[in-house]
């Protein structure tokens, strides 16, 4: 059982890194799976860290619950407060994810956040500008500004 848990963790870690493949991957799929990195997706990134945030908030809430055990009058309001904050965080994350998904669907956009760039060299000579100015001045509708 421990080996299965380790393989699951290795598979999850491989999907979060570019160039790594999950264990026991057939040779024909290694190149394709090595190119996958789920952290490139904005939606996956948001859900991944939202789950981590909610789990850490839940652990802190339980820890705080043990701290309020000495004062039973505080325990019930504390539980209510933690539950409501937990619900609000989950609702905010759900609304954000739903809005992002619906916008991606409507506009056909991608949630890929890879950095892409291109260089464009624009060269314009002084002679080309001078020729354009002279041609503009020879038009009948040209009026020179004072």
Residue 134 has pLDDT above 60, yes or no: yes
The predicted pLDDT at position 96 comes to: 82
The predicted pLDDT at position 125 comes to: 62
pTM strictly above 0.75? no
Instruction: Name the token pair of 25.
Output: 């991957």
Alpha-carbon distance of 32 to 37, in angstroms, equals: 11
Alpha-carbon distance of 138 to 53, in angstroms, equals: 69
Percent of the chain with pLDDT over 70: 70
pLDDT-derived band at 111, boundaries 50, 70, 90:
low
Alpha-carbon distance of 78 to 76, in angstroms, equals: 5
The partner residues of 41 in beta bridges, in order of sequence, read 112
Alpha-carbon distance of 31 to 4, in angstroms, equals: 24
pLDDT-derived band at 144, boundaries 50, 70, 90:
low
Q: 53 near 76, Cβ under 8 Å?
A: no
Least confident of 17-21, 109-113, 136-140: 109-113
The upper half-sphere exposure of residue 128, i.e. CA atoms within 13 Å in the direction of its Cβ, equals 4
pLDDT-derived band at 129, boundaries 50, 70, 90:
low
């Amino acid at each position: 059982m421990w080996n299965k848990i380790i393989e699951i963790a290795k598979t999850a870690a491989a999907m979060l890194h570019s160039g790594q493949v999950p264990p026991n991957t057939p040779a024909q799929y290694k190149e394709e799976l090595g190119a996958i990195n789920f952290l490139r997706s904005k939606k996956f990134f948001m859900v991944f860290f939202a789950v981590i945030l909610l789990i850490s908030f839940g652990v802190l809430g339980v820890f705080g619950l043990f701290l309020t055990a000495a004062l039973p009058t505080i325990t019930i309001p504390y539980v209510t407060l933690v539950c409501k904050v937990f619900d609000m965080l989950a609702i905010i994350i759900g609304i954000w994810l739903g809005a992002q998904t619906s916008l991606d669907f409507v506009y056909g956009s991608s949630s890929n956040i890879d950095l892409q760039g291109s260089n464009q060299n624009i060269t314009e000579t002084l002679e080309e500008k001078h020729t354009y100015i002279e041609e503009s001045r020879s038009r009948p509708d040209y009026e020179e500004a004072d």
